[in-house]
Chains A and B, each alone.
Chain A
Amino acid sequence: MEQTEVMKPESLDDLIKILHKIFESDSVNVEEVQNIMESYESKPQEWMKFAKFDQYRYTRNLVDEGNGKFNLMILCWGEGHGSSIHDHTDSHCFLKLLQGQLKETLFDWPDRKLSGGMVQKSQQVLLENQCAYINDSIGLHRVENVSHTETAVSLHLYSPPFQTCQTFDQRTGHHNTVKMTFWSKFGERTPFETTVSQENN
């Protein structure tokens, strides 16, 4: 008989423990990770200490370093905050909504010959507790909180971890490499790490 039970994480700590176990092996079962992340029911009191907002732009707050196998972080999006179009440096990217909603717009990698700029492939609105997945072979995306009244909080898992990625100018397809920094780590604000945003949004 096959064991098909999904371990439903009872808490954020539980989720992290399960993720550590899953990522012990070198191969990643995308569906399995997506299901587990989706089945964690967001409880603000469990992640509030990581959710540090900035007035002017979205923040990245490191939660767990996954024994070097993955980075788990919480992103906080104020009203209207959005990211650039970016890639994921050959890593898996899982994105789960903990609070509010985020719009994800998918793009193909820009074609040098096309001069019309980058055209969106598809769009979806991610609702609370939903978990999306992307990697470079699927394409590029832009993530935005389009609400003018609600903030949004999302939980991201990247495996393997990466410190730089490419951001793209939608009008031209031109790209540049940016270094990604954390607003806080493990619940502590890390001010000397952050620099002026290099994103094109």
Chain B
Amino acid sequence: MARFPSIDDCAVLHLSRLQLDDLNLERLTDSKRQQIHQLHLTNNRLSFLPPSVCFLFNLEYLDISNNTLTALPDDIMRLTNLKTFVAKNNFLDESSFPKEFERMPVENLNLSGNRFEDIPMQFLKMTTLQSLSLGGNRLKNIPAEIENLTSLEMLYLGGNLISSIPPEVANLTSLRYLVLCDNRIQSIPPQLNKLHSLLSLSLHNNLLTFLPREILSLVHLQELSLRGNPLVVRFIKDMTYDPPSLMELAGRTVKSHNLSFSLSDLPSNLVHYLNLASECPNPKCAGVYFDSCVRHIKFVDFCGKYRLPLMHYLCSPQCSSPCSSNPQSDAESEDENSVPPDRLQRVLLG
């Protein structure tokens, strides 16, 4: 144990890089203990949170990054004023936290560089959380319960093993900064356009080939990172086309002729099927589709910077694209405009 230097600025205690393997603050008077609002204990040799830290009742900020913690003691619950907890680069995982941790009023939680394979259930109940970072862990997915974090403004999940984004992420309507870079994400759910407050979206180094066209409605978005994704560059022609099934063709006829139907006419599975019809996004087309649709990649300028491959469904190859293409002087758009509609085939991606 090392002796700590005298405290001049009483509110902030700097005890980083002191090769500490333990810490005893019992020599502090009660009044001194109550004055401490911030404690920095980074880059030491702590394999556990020193118990006396838990008696700094007014502690609001605790940074214990770059140590060797594997778990946190139940006594951490004594820090009832803790607003910011940073424990980057330790050995923590989803079993490291006390069961009652969700009762902590923590607003900023940074646990990047640990060993989380899942987001612990306790975190998913912390409605006070404004900022959560689990970057550089081993997360395989994002649970739907993430939507409970209604105060969340910043969510950093870069550098994990995430392969898909649940649409429930879209319910985090306070979210301003969403970081999903360096993962294994293949597609973005179109519901993400509900994130009206989103200012910055980080998607670089994933497996995206296109983005949903709904992303266009994120009008406040200022930053979008897409490097290191196998984004479709050229419009892909001549791909295989799966003709619609007989059921689909019959369904389309029923819907486009506005034939009424009910459970007394049809088996319930067919009623259900007919109700699933999607409308062709082409406003000039009154058509519907069920399963067989054509994915048309449209390259659209976005944030004034990119020509993003955006995807939308059309009911058939004959249906022309709803968005008028933005005339550009480069070769790409000339290629697209010159493709006759009957050559538009379903695009195979990836």
**Within the complex, what minimum Cβ distance (angstroms) separates B207 from chain A?**
15
User: Chain A contact residues: over half helix, strand or loop, or mixed?
Assistant: loop
CA distance A115 to B223 in the complex (A): 27
B182 touches A148 (CB 8 A): yes
Q: Interface size for chain B: under 10, 10 to 19, 20 to 34, or 35 or more residues? A: 35 or more
A148 touches B223 (CB 8 A): no
Chain B residues positioned under 8 Å from A137 (CB to CB): none
Kindly state whether residue A174 has any CB partner on chain B within 8 Å: yes
Contact with A along B200-211 (1 / 0, CB 8 A): 101010000000
Kindly state whether residue B106 has any CB partner on chain A within 8 Å: no
Given contacts A149-B113, A197-B222, A200-B306, contact A117 B88 (CB under 8 A): no
Residue in contact with B88 in the complex, picked from A57, A142, A149, A201, CB distance below 8 Å? A149
Closest A residue to B137 using CB positions: A148
Residue of A57, A79, A197 contacting most chain B CB atoms (<10 Å): A79
Closest B residue to A55 using CB positions: B177
A201 touches B225 (CB 8 A): yes
Closest A residue to B88 using CB positions: A149
Chain A residues positioned under 8 Å from B38 (CB to CB): none
Residue in contact with A148 in the complex, picked from B159, B177, B204, CB distance below 8 Å? B159
Name B98-123 residues within 8 Å CB distance of A. 112-113
Kindly state whether residue B39 has any CB partner on chain A within 8 Å: no
Residue in contact with B303 in the complex, picked from A146, A147, A196, CB distance below 8 Å? A196
B158 touches A79 (CB 8 A): yes
B156 touches A172 (CB 8 A): no
Kindly state whether residue B92 has any CB partner on chain A within 8 Å: no
Kindly state whether residue B227 has any CB partner on chain A within 8 Å: yes
CA distance A121 to B200 in the complex (A): 29
B181 touches A171 (CB 8 A): no
**Within the complex, what minimum Cβ distance (angstroms) separates A9 from chain B?**
24
**Within the complex, what minimum Cβ distance (angstroms) separates A22 from chain B?**
35
Kindly state whether residue A130 has any CB partner on chain B within 8 Å: no
Contact with B along A164-201 (1 / 0, CB 8 A): 00000111101000000000000000000000111111
Chain A residues positioned under 8 Å from B159 (CB to CB): 80, 148
CA distance A80 to B303 in the complex (A): 20
A80 touches B181 (CB 8 A): yes
Residue of A56, A146, A147 contacting most chain B CB atoms (<10 Å): A56
A148 touches B233 (CB 8 A): no
A148 touches B306 (CB 8 A): no
**Within the complex, what minimum Cβ distance (angstroms) separates A181 from chain B?**
13
B305 touches A80 (CB 8 A): no
Closest A residue to B65 using CB positions: A149
A56 touches B231 (CB 8 A): no
**Within the complex, what minimum Cβ distance (angstroms) separates B16 from chain A?**
13
A196 touches B89 (CB 8 A): no
Residue of B113, B179, B225 contacting most chain A CB atoms (<10 Å): B225
Kindly state whether residue A110 has any CB partner on chain B within 8 Å: no
Closest A residue to B230 using CB positions: A171
A171 touches B231 (CB 8 A): yes
B305 touches A199 (CB 8 A): yes
A80 touches B227 (CB 8 A): no
Closest 10 CB pairs of A and B: A148-B135, A148-B136, A56-B200, A148-B159, A149-B113, A149-B112, A149-B88, A196-B222, A201-B225, A80-B158
- Can you report 30 residue pairs joining A to B where beta carbons are below 8 Å apart? A55-B200, A56-B177, A56-B222, A57-B200, A79-B112, A79-B156, A79-B158, A80-B156, A80-B158, A80-B159, A80-B181, A82-B204, A147-B136, A148-B113, A149-B65, A149-B88, A149-B135, A170-B227, A172-B307, A172-B332, A174-B307, A196-B222, A196-B303, A197-B222, A198-B304, A198-B305, A199-B305, A200-B306, A201-B204, A201-B225
Question: Using a CB–CB distance below 8 Å, which chain A residues touch chain B?
Answer: 55-57, 79-80, 82, 115, 117, 142, 146-149, 169-172, 174, 196-201
User: 13 more A-B contacts (CB under 8 A) besides A80-B156, A171-B231?
Assistant: A56-B199, A57-B200, A80-B225, A148-B112, A148-B136, A148-B159, A149-B135, A149-B136, A170-B227, A174-B330, A198-B304, A199-B305, A201-B227
